[in-house]
Structure 1
Amino acid sequence: MPSVPNRTLPPLNPLKAFEAAARHNSLTLAAEELNVSQVAVSRQVRVLEDYMGVTLFRRLNRGIELTREGILLFKGIGQAFQDIEDATKTVSRRGQRNILAIQSYVTFSRGWLMPRLGDFHKAQPRIEVRLSSSPEPADFDTDNLDAAIRGGDGNWPGLHAEKLADMELIPVCSPRFLAEHPLDRIEDLAKVKLLHSMARPRDWSSWLTSVGAGFAPNNRLLFENSALAYEGALMDLGVAIANRHFVQTQLRAGTLVAPFEQGCRTGESYYLTWPKDEPPSSPLLKFLDWIRIHFAPDEAGGAGEAPEPAPEPASELAPDQPLEEVSPPSRSGFST
């Protein structure tokens, strides 16, 4: 953190008394607000005037009036007092309510986090979780967040990034689809509809390349995000390319099957991120302890369960093959 020069500030109690008197244009009303006597307010204002070497109020028969110096001072400190009040209310409210605000991708939330939030609530019933979603990176300066799920390489200036899981792709489809369209060899995928996420249109190509397939994914059905592609697979529409972590529940339940076990690591991972320049809140520390326990077995072989879908990084649509669109493209970034 850069060094901050020592501040030269006037005594704060006299400054507070002056601000209240100037705002009300009355020593009496300022005294009522501060729950002190009018004499005490007048005394504090004189202390400030002596400190600054100027007269801040003209004392009139029927009240007070700001001098030019008083007007300048009041303009300068009015917003500062409001900012202090607003910041104090925000911090106090979050501390009192034990709030944990997290931003995630829709598919990560649906595929991994939401199925486990009940477990977290049982472990930490006093923590109020506020879960929001966006395909864009979290803005910790404006969004009032404690932490955010982010996909990539984990190298983001100003952020702590704790790795949760690598992205690993596998093909999945429904048992009924597999029965009607036997997939004995990888080349059989060229005969069926392949379900794509518009946020990650190259995932199928990456997987096919990794297993040495000699064909391109031409027969495509395109969805807005991975969540819809996974649902399409459940509805017998074709074979989706899925993040292994986000279809564990369906695979165990048998509602989805993996016709080929070969996985493809994308080189990207999911991370829990939070700002480096402020200590993590107590709710975030408890969440970190909890999520570390739940992700460790997933990495070791998938002990955690998760229904539904996952997020993914943005890339542009390949212009080569025609696409059969099911829903409009996402704005940008990971699937929403």
Structure 2
Amino acid sequence: MKQPLPPLNPLKAFESAARLLSLTAAAEDLNVSQVAVSRQVKVLEDYLGVALFKRLHRGIELTDEGKELFDGIESAFQDIADAARKVSRRGRRDILSIQSYTTFSQRWLIPRLADFHKRFEATEVRISSSLKPVDFETQNIDAAIRSGFGDWPELHAEKLVDIELIPVCSPEFLENHQISKPEDLQGVTLLHSLARNHDWEGWFNSKKIAFNNHKGIRFDYSSSAYEAASMGMGVALAVKVFVEGMIEKGQLVSPFPESYKPGESYYLVWSNKASPSDALLKFLKWIRETMER
């Protein structure tokens, strides 16, 4: 014959008081009065026929019977809480908040995000854009896309792709200017991104060419420099994966086939104090597979 359960309200009052070893704290935990907790515990003690607490001058202490009961029900209450949490999430979409650079979002991530939502209908990705590093302590962000060398001690970093830079301009600009060798870029308008302010200097240094920085136009974001290049305003130094689509459509051309690698990469990062969710791991796998394609 199945053993009947003890009265559940008194059992919950006991569990809270035993876990916190305080009737006052248990009252706050359950949002009731201390008198109500004491009354519920007394009901359970009368039901079981044993004392569960020793009432001390400055608090309470579990009796041997109280310890045995608490050991038996502690995991059961946690199992109930876990089961309720799972049921409450059933039918809801997982929300994944990602912070990314403006250009990464505009030129790569957002145009492909429909594919992710199609493949993972239960997960909704929300994108915010910023040049500032994410603060996982104060921002409600699950992960961020950062560029660098992956050496952030407070972050877990998963490498996505190496940064390759190529000069790009409009086909008309290339036709109207004598650009056949890297040195020729010394005499044309260069389009700079303040977000990647040292890229042109690094490119010229890699070619062992003097860097003439006075002739150029500067933009807040790399995506603006790419648009200006497509309109014939000059030559931009672009992250290759961001302009491949524009090159395929004929909006941009690259005067030189070889790319310049500054040594940085793009990473998906999250706090090393938190474990990645299933949704975040799916997003990481998807973005890697998409980049490989």
TM-score (norm 1): 0.64
What is the SS of the residue equivalent to 2:262?
strand
Q: Is the contact between residue 26 and residue 34 of structure 2 (CA under 8 Å) also seen in structure 1?
A: no
CA distance in 2, matches of 1:93, 1:144: 19
Structure with bigger helix share is 2
Match of 2:28 in 1: 19
For residues 95-106 of structure 1, the aligned pairs below 5 Å read 96-106=92-102
- Structure 2 residues not aligned, in runs of 5+: 1-15, 60-83
Larger relative contact order (Cα-Cα within 8 Å, sequence gap ≥ 6): 1
CA distance in 1, matches of 2:147, 2:200: 18
Q: Runs (4+) of structure 1 moved beyond 3 Å?
A: 12-17, 23-27, 38-44, 46-52, 92-97
Q: Is the contact between residue 207 and residue 263 of structure 1 (CA under 8 Å) also seen in structure 2?
A: no
Q: CA deviation at 1:184?
A: 2.1
Match of 1:192 in 2: 188
Match of 1:40 in 2: 40
Q: CA deviation at 1:217?
A: 3.4
What is the SS of the residue equivalent to 1:247?
helix
What is the SS of the residue equivalent to 1:115?
helix
CA distance in 1, matches of 2:192, 2:175: 21
For residues 264-303 of structure 1, the aligned pairs below 5 Å read 264-297=260-293
Over 3 Å counting, the alpha-carbon distance change for 1:20 and 1:186 in structure 2 is closer
Q: Is the contact between residue 17 and residue 26 of structure 2 (CA under 8 Å) also seen in structure 1?
A: no
CA distance in 2, matches of 1:101, 1:199: 22
| Aligned mate of 1:249, from 245, 248, 251 | 245
For residues 148-297 of structure 1, the aligned pairs below 5 Å read 148-297=144-293
Let me know the Cα RMSD of the aligned residues: 3.5
For residues 59-98 of structure 1, the aligned pairs below 5 Å read 96-98=92-94
Match of 2:56 in 1: 53
What is the SS of the residue equivalent to 1:263?
coil
CA distance in 1, matches of 2:188, 2:137: 47
TM-score (norm 2): 0.72
CA distance in 1, matches of 2:204, 2:287: 32
State the aligned residue count: 248
CA distance in 2, matches of 1:39, 1:52: 14
Q: Percent identity?
A: 48
Q: CA deviation at 1:182?
A: 3.4
Over 3 Å counting, the alpha-carbon distance change for 1:247 and 1:94 in structure 2 is farther
Query: More deviation in 129-138 or 180-189?
Result: 180-189
Amino acid corresponding to residue 40 of structure 1 in structure 2: Q
CA distance in 1, matches of 2:91, 2:135: 21
Amino acid corresponding to residue 56 of structure 2 in structure 1: G
CA distance in 1, matches of 2:256, 2:161: 21
What is the SS of the residue equivalent to 2:128?
strand
Amino acid corresponding to residue 292 of structure 1 in structure 2: R
